[in-house]
Structure 1
Amino acid sequence: MGKRESLQDMVVVDLDVHVNDTPTELAPYMDMPWRKSLEHLKNVPWRYLSIPGYSPNFAENIPLWPGGNDRMNVDSPAQMKKELSAIHVDIAILFPDHLLGIPVLPQKEYAAALARAYNAWILDKWCDKEEGLKGLIMVAPQDPEDGAREIEKYKNEEGIVGVYLPCTGLDTLWGHVKYDPIFAAAESAGLPVLLHAATTLVPHFPFNLHQYETFFAQHSFVHSFSMMANMLKMIETGVPVRFPNIKICFTESGVSWVPFIMMRLDKEYVENRRDIPFLEHPPSYYVKKFFYATQPIEEPDNPKHLVQLIEMFEGETQTMFASDWPHHDFDHPREVFNLPFSEEVRRNIMGENALRFFDIDSVGRRNKFKIETNTTK
């Protein structure tokens, strides 16, 4: 038997890495008059993922106790590359931190201006400033048309590899026809879309969170429920039928919920398919075409059970490693690497599936640009 591969022997792509997007950082990129608000916030007390008027966190309705885990931030590309290299990550897909909660902002114009400022900032300050740091275009769900324009604006930037669909406190779920301009623009640009949520309390889905008295309870299921809700909306409205060439990934929700929702939807399809006559296949067909990021990876007593769950939705080709760095609950690559996969599946999940999903090479360069460069020579 040959020597088993190590993390250093393969390309490791991290689907979920967070940058420290503070009001002070974004202010120079912000349109007037909203820039004045961001400049003002540097003098207003705020905490991690809780900034008045920028990243409001309505989940802070429970007692705060000493102990727990320190919050970590990464403030520069050099720091990010150094820290990720230490855990053997070669390519990182960057998400915001504070602006995970952009859907809860009530002013359409302000939310769209924040998304535009973030996109200009992430490209100027982060993307490819160190090898393998890749950005996503943020779209504000409050203004789908503006989001589509942002995709069109940045679609040919080498440092951009996808589109970020915020889900935290999202009122109208992704899949509603009002978001068609965003999906159409992403499909036309050849850019995949990635959904990401965080914990907050809002008067819409998942609305039952206000009944829980601890962060333990709130955080246990909010991400997975958010992903299930948005997936169901996409299937109910036929997003994968209307946009057959778009690639969709669900992040920071683990993977154990995927077999459940797949089997549940197929059961309903048998009895109620007349409600969704536009679907060309049972829901499981589309569930198996979607992609999934691993963090927070489930840790059953028997690791083989997790492998079996992934096999149930044919996740060997659709599952991608994610760490959630630098958050306190991040997953080290070895947590996924050490699962009892075959060598081929392990390589797929740690990096090869992501290279295919984003259509990039082993150092993060978009294959589109390589093709165009070769064609023009």
Structure 2
Amino acid sequence: MTTTSVPLGSTASNKSDKSEPLPIIDCDVHNQLRGSQDLLPYLDPIWKQEAGLRGGGLPYISPIGSKRKDADPPSGLPVGSDPHYMIEHLLDPFHMDYAILCSDSTIGVSAFADANYAAAICRAYNDYLIAEWLPVTPRFKGLMCIATQDPLEAAREIDRIGPHPDIVGVSVIGGSRMPYGQRFFHPIYEACVRHGLPYVIHPGSEGSGIFNPPTAVGYVSNYLQWHTCLPQTYMAHLVSFVCDGVFEKFPGLKVVLSEGGVSWLPPLLWRLDKNYKGLRASVPWLKRLPSEYVRDHCLLTTQPIEEPDNPKHLAMMFEMFDAENMLLFSSDYPHWDFDDPTKVLQRLPLEKKRKIFAENARALFGLH
């Protein structure tokens, strides 16, 4: 993973060989509530007496906190909760065309046992996002939040919010009680396809609330281990999407695996293709190699990119899968492991950088 010591307000820019800034679409920018009171005007009356945002709670604490210290707004608001400062601190210095907003406050409500409460929080957040963030600048685009405990209710929420022109995707957490390819979740994907919205999976609550443990062998001991093992979750969901036939049933569905790394993908696909050739009788609905479904339906975000010390190794890794067409740039602002777009992937050829930093996202989210 790559971090930078250059202040976010630096005049450094990601430039092409013509000394013009490369277009950038940041596909993982975290907006945050100032407090749970922000949702009160948008909550259904029955839930207003709760007056609080509750969830399962991540069972690990980062010893260095979760946010960059230099991202504190001068207004005194919590980090990530001031849209105007986000423009000043992130979008303008890096000449970003768009920032795709992913809730830092509500995405984990799927870990809560009460499905009605979780759905109410998501409805309130989506209305809050549309009313108080998206109008601030046309460069803000939003991922709506859904609760996965009740896929039929989640599909109704997608139908309610999905038509909004500034909503460009559906955001869920990686934590779950079952792999996402299973038919329990299929009403969600049907709604995503109906509105042309990608399904974006983001980490943050694995092992909390009603979710399964965060690794295949149970709970690890600390945040370092949890953070390192996050790709396990993505591997399980991805294999399930393919082998449970989601992409055959919903050929228009796109899935984004956000903030889970990328280097694990080639060996996983090699293993899956190899096993499919011998065990294809167990998945008779598949008509192509598993890796072909992943190539056509799945994208990954760059942060946290596993950039080795030897740049040749990164180039070799990118050659092992269709990286230039499957990667989306993300900074993870304002988290501690923020990736500066002027520092990451510097040795990539210009045309590949154009695709990763903007064009892939432009096509996926329908941005002009």
TM class by shorter chain equals 0.7 to 0.9
User: What is the CA–CA distance in structure 2 between the aligned matches of 1:110 and 1:67, rounded to whole Å?
Assistant: 28
* Unmatched tracts of structure 2, length 5 or more: 1-15, 72-78
**1:250 equivalent in structure 2:** 257
Instruction: Provide Cα deviations, 1:223-253, integer angstroms capped at 9, x if missing partner.
Output: x111111111111211111110111111001
Instruction: Provide Cα deviations, 1:109-140, integer angstroms capped at 9, x if missing partner.
Output: 01111111111111111114213110012111
**1:126 equivalent in structure 2:** 133
User: What is the CA–CA distance in structure 1 between the aligned matches of 2:119 and 2:366, rounded to whole Å?
Assistant: 28
Counterpart of 1:54, as a letter, is G
Task: Give, in angstroms, the shift of residue 88 of structure 1.
Answer: 3.3
- Secondary structure in 2 matching 1:119: helix
Give the direction of change, closer, same or farther, for the CA distance of 1:68–1:125 in structure 2 (3 Å limit): closer
- How do 1:324-339 and structure 2 match up within 5 A? 324-338=332-346
Instruction: Provide Cα deviations, 1:148-198, integer angstroms capped at 9, x if missing partner.
Output: 11111122212111111222x311221111211111111111112211111
Task: Give, in angstroms, the shift of residue 205 of structure 1.
Answer: 4.5
Higher helix fraction: Structure 1 or Structure 2?
1
User: What is the CA–CA distance in structure 2 between the aligned matches of 1:332 and 1:176, rounded to whole Å?
Assistant: 37
Counterpart of 1:32, as a letter, is P
**1:17 equivalent in structure 2:** 29
TM-score by length of 2: 0.86
**1:181 equivalent in structure 2:** 187
Whether the 8 Å CA contact 2:216–2:232 is kept in 1: the answer is: no
**1:4 equivalent in structure 2:** 17
TM-score by length of 1: 0.84
User: What is the CA–CA distance in structure 1 between the aligned matches of 2:237 and 2:22, rounded to whole Å?
Assistant: 33
User: What is the CA–CA distance in structure 1 between the aligned matches of 2:153 and 2:65, rounded to whole Å?
Assistant: 43
**1:197 equivalent in structure 2:** 203
- Secondary structure in 2 matching 1:333: coil
Whether the 8 Å CA contact 1:15–1:320 is kept in 2: the answer is: yes
User: What is the CA–CA distance in structure 1 between the aligned matches of 2:289 and 2:18, rounded to whole Å?
Assistant: 38
Task: Give, in angstroms, the shift of residue 83 of structure 1.
Answer: 1.4
Q: Which has the higher contact order (CA 8 A, sep 6+)?
A: 2
User: What is the CA–CA distance in structure 2 between the aligned matches of 1:331 and 1:13, rounded to whole Å?
Assistant: 13
2:49 to 11, 33, 36: 36
Counterpart of 2:200, as a letter, is L
**2:58 equivalent in structure 1:** 57
**1:212 equivalent in structure 2:** 220
Instruction: Provide Cα deviations, 1:325-347, integer angstroms capped at 9, x if missing partner.
Output: 00011111123341x22211110
User: What is the CA–CA distance in structure 2 between the aligned matches of 1:286 and 1:9, rounded to whole Å?
Assistant: 34
1:308 to 316, 337, 352: 316
User: What is the CA–CA distance in structure 2 between the aligned matches of 1:83 and 1:178, rounded to whole Å?
Assistant: 41
Counterpart of 2:295, as a letter, is K
User: What is the CA–CA distance in structure 2 between the aligned matches of 1:30 and 1:89, rounded to whole Å?
Assistant: 33
User: What is the CA–CA distance in structure 1 between the aligned matches of 2:268 and 2:55, rounded to whole Å?
Assistant: 34
User: What is the CA–CA distance in structure 2 between the aligned matches of 1:211 and 1:139, rounded to whole Å?
Assistant: 26
**1:350 equivalent in structure 2:** 357
How many residues align structurally?
Answer: 341
Percent of aligned pairs with the same amino acid: 34
User: What is the CA–CA distance in structure 1 between the aligned matches of 2:94 and 2:357, rounded to whole Å?
Assistant: 13
- Runs of 4+ aligned residues of structure 1 deviating over 3 Å after TM superposition are 64-72, 207-211
Whether the 8 Å CA contact 1:255–1:310 is kept in 2: the answer is: no
Whether the 8 Å CA contact 1:139–1:166 is kept in 2: the answer is: no
Whether the 8 Å CA contact 1:162–1:194 is kept in 2: the answer is: yes
Task: Give, in angstroms, the shift of residue 66 of structure 1.
Answer: 7.7
* Unmatched tracts of structure 1, length 5 or more: 42-50, 362-377
Give the direction of change, closer, same or farther, for the CA distance of 1:5–1:357 in structure 2 (3 Å limit): farther
User: What is the CA–CA distance in structure 2 between the aligned matches of 1:324 and 1:205, rounded to whole Å?
Assistant: 24
- Alignment pair present for 1:291 and 2:304: no
RMSD (Å), alpha carbons: 2.2
1:320 to 325, 328, 332: 328
Instruction: Provide Cα deviations, 1:193-213, integer angstroms capped at 9, x if missing partner.
Output: 211111543462434575432
Instruction: Provide Cα deviations, 1:19-69, integer angstroms capped at 9, x if missing partner.
Output: 1134121122111322221x2x4xxxxxxxxx7x33622235xxx868997
Whether the 8 Å CA contact 1:100–1:197 is kept in 2: the answer is: no
Give the direction of change, closer, same or farther, for the CA distance of 1:282–1:218 in structure 2 (3 Å limit): same
